[in-house]
Amino acid sequence: MTTSTSGQRWAWIVLPMVAAAGFVVFLRSLEHPFVYDDLPAVRDNEIVQGQRPWLDVLTQPYWPPAVSPDPIYRPVTTATLRLDAIISGLDATGYHVTNAILHALVSVLVALLASTLVRAKRAWWPPSVAGLLFAMHPVHVEAVSLVVGRSELLAALFMLLTAYLHHRHLNRADGPTIRHHVMLAVLVLLGCLSKEHAVFTVVIIATQDWLHRAEQGDRAIRPELQRLAKSHWLGVFGALAIFFLARWLVFGWKMKIPLKIIVDTLNPLDTATTTEKLLTPFALLTHSIRLMIMPTGHSPNWGAGSFALADTWMRWDVMVGLAVLTALLILVFTSLRRRIPSALSAMALLVLLAIPCHFLPVANWFFGERWLYAPSAFLVLILVGWVSRWPRLLLVGAVLVLPLMAHQTWQYQACFSSNEQLLACVLEDHPNDYFALAGTCQGYAVDGRIAEVEDHVLRLVEHHPDKGDAWCFLTVLLAEKGEYERAGASLNKCALMGGVLRGPGGLEEASERIRAWQKSGEDAVTDPSSH
């Protein structure tokens, strides 16, 4: 396809269309301010805003230590944010424009990969549909609409670019070149320095090499070892060594937040039972596949109260997740054995879902839709490759699904227009989510209007009685209503659980009112004349 005149023509027509779709569908986000994690990681980050030297981009963690102890090292992402800050300052529009451009480029790379991996009679349909599906999918809203999603965009960009260029290199007749080896090492390093999961690019390269060796009929181990010193793997290993060395210089051997610091509201699996740690990944796998296939049901946050941990095999999502994992493993092994290009997409999808689904327990947080940005690219390639056997079905499906996806993506972006709207969107789908309930109560407590969200406070205490903050909010609410006896009992639970209201949440004032009420009661007992 790519060597024919028609194959070259489709690129000039389709790729600009895919890029335009990826940018235009996110125009709504361009007017959004910084929200959620954008505030500490971008707006208030001294390194990003140029208040500290450029060297700190390489020597400091991604998250400011005062905000989070999460051992994350992403200097390339931080550098691009700092460049945005130089141009746009504290105006979020420039950052969002960069995200939209990056998303457009990644969408183009998905189309290019489809052109090399998907075999179809009408060769220009699969890359067109694959690129547009990826460009318009609502599962990407969190990664693109939030500025902090930049790490996902960059990592996916470098991973897909590596896969595409390496595939073209393997099909060249002139053999290995030093330029390609250096380029491969640089792309792998840039991906890892954008986000850690880009280390899985090594698996993608290895899969491509395996398929190429199988086509050439060369599976001998000794010749491969002899050629290792002059192959691209030397550069790839060097890139990984540089990444891990740089990370070690910043964090040492630290990989996760200490258990005594992290709380189950951030990652419930850290304090879960053994059964829950074993079964929940299968439920999350089902959840992830559903979000990537269906254009509805997305939410800005999934955490304590919005996703129940799996404590039994008899849950439908656990059994479906087990079936999906089995199917992926079978697809990988059969595709590799039969030398089918879809092995690349299946293998990439398998390894990229290992962290967000917690099959590898290295994630410090529970789940985020932006983690599905890179995996969704390879799922799109698998689905389009399968449906491309029936060109008419592919065309009809695209006509029906693409407008729906574009509409859902456009509407979903409204959830990221402000912190208040983000919390409201979470509560609409997950009324018992701790993050959304606590965040909403905090905002009203700061404004002295906590009585307006009494139902939120009561639901927070009912569904999250082990959270100290829940009892703090209840204390403030009861004190405002004059129920000082109950407020005193609630204050004691708040203190025992270490709850605290951030900012002027009214807890100190409520405590003083409770103490005054208690003192007046004691005075009444000791002074008979008061009767």
Cα three-residue angle 276-73-436, rounded to 5 degrees: 50
Supply the pLDDT for residue 305: 83
What distance in Å separates the CA atoms of residue 253 and residue 269, rounded to the nearest whole number? Answer: 22
106 and 157 in contact (C-beta within 8 Å)?
A: yes
116 touches 168 (CB < 8 A): yes
Length of the chain: 531
pLDDT tens track, the chain, 531 positions: 444 445 567 777 889 999 999 999 999 999 999 998 999 999 999 999 988 999 999 988 898 888 877 788 999 999 999 999 999 999 999 999 999 999 999 999 999 999 888 765 556 778 889 999 999 999 999 999 999 999 999 999 999 999 999 888 887 756 667 788 888 999 999 999 999 999 999 999 989 888 877 555 544 444 554 455 456 778 888 888 888 888 888 877 776 666 555 566 678 888 889 999 999 999 999 999 999 998 888 999 888 888 889 999 999 999 999 999 999 999 999 988 888 888 899 999 999 999 999 998 888 888 999 999 999 999 999 998 888 777 778 788 888 899 999 999 999 999 999 999 999 999 998 999 988 898 888 888 887 888 888 899 999 889 888 888 888 888 888 888 888 888 888 888 888 877 666 655 677 777 777 777 777 765 554 555 544
Domains of the chain and any CATH numbers:
5-416 (no CATH), 431-530 (1.25.40)
Residue-wise pLDDT tens digits, 115-172: 888 765 556 778 889 999 999 999 999 999 999 999 999 999 999 999 999 888 887 7
The closest alpha carbon to 239, from 152, 356, 158, 156, belongs to 158
| Adjacent-strand bridge partners of 367 | 302
Looking at residue 437, its amino acid is L
Helix (H), strand (E), coil (C) string for 14-82: HHHHHHHHHHHCCHHHHHCCCCCCHHHHHHCCCCCCCCCCCHHHHHCCCCCCCCCCCCCCCHHHHHHHH
The predicted pLDDT at position 214 comes to 58
Look at the block and give the residue holding tokens 């051997």: 253
| pLDDT tens-place string over residues 247-285 | 888 877 776 666 555 566 678 888 889 999 999 999 999
pLDDT of residue 81: 96
- For tokens 């409201």, what's the residue? 424
User: How far is the C-alpha of 217 from the C-alpha of 339, rounded, in Å?
Assistant: 11
Residue 296: per-residue pLDDT: 85
User: Any alpha helices (H) in 171-200, and if so which ranges?
Assistant: 178-192
Number of Cβ within a 10 Å radius of residue 42: 23
Residue 40 to residues 147, 317, 476: CA-CA distances in angstroms?
11, 35, 27
Backbone angles phi, psi at 414, to 5 degrees: -60, -25
* Beta-carbon count within 10 A of 358 CB: 22
Cβ-based neighbour number of residue 486 at 10 Å: 15
Q: How far apart are CA 356 and CA 363, in angstroms?
A: 7
Count of other CB atoms within 10 angstroms of residue 528: 7
Give the position of tokens 């990370």: 247
* CB of 370 closer than 8 Å to CB of 106: no
Which of 65, 72, 68, 98 is closest to 83 using CA atoms? 98
Residue 407: count other Cβ atoms within 10 Å of its Cβ. Answer: 14
Looking at residue 263, the DSSP 8-state letter turns out to be -
Q: Which DSSP helix (H) or strand (E) runs through 422?
A: helix 419-429
Residue 3: predicted pLDDT: 43
Looking at residue 272, what is its pLDDT? 86
Geometric angle at alpha carbon 37, from 36 and 41, rounded to 5° = 140
Please report, as a single letter, which amino acid is at residue 134: F
Tell me which residue of 62, 90, 95, 94 sits closest to 76, measured CA to CA. Answer: 62
Pair 354, 375: CB distance under 8 Å: no
Q: How many Cβ atoms from other residues are within 10 Å of residue 91's Cβ?
A: 13
Opening angle at CA 224, ends 219 and 228, nearest 5 = 155
| Residue at 257: amino acid letter | I
Helix (H) / strand (E) element for 491: namely helix 484-496
- Which of helix, strand or coil describes residue 443? helix
Spatial CA neighbour of 109 closest among 125, 140, 130, 95: 130
Residue 302, amino acid: W
Distance CA 132, CA 136 (A): 6
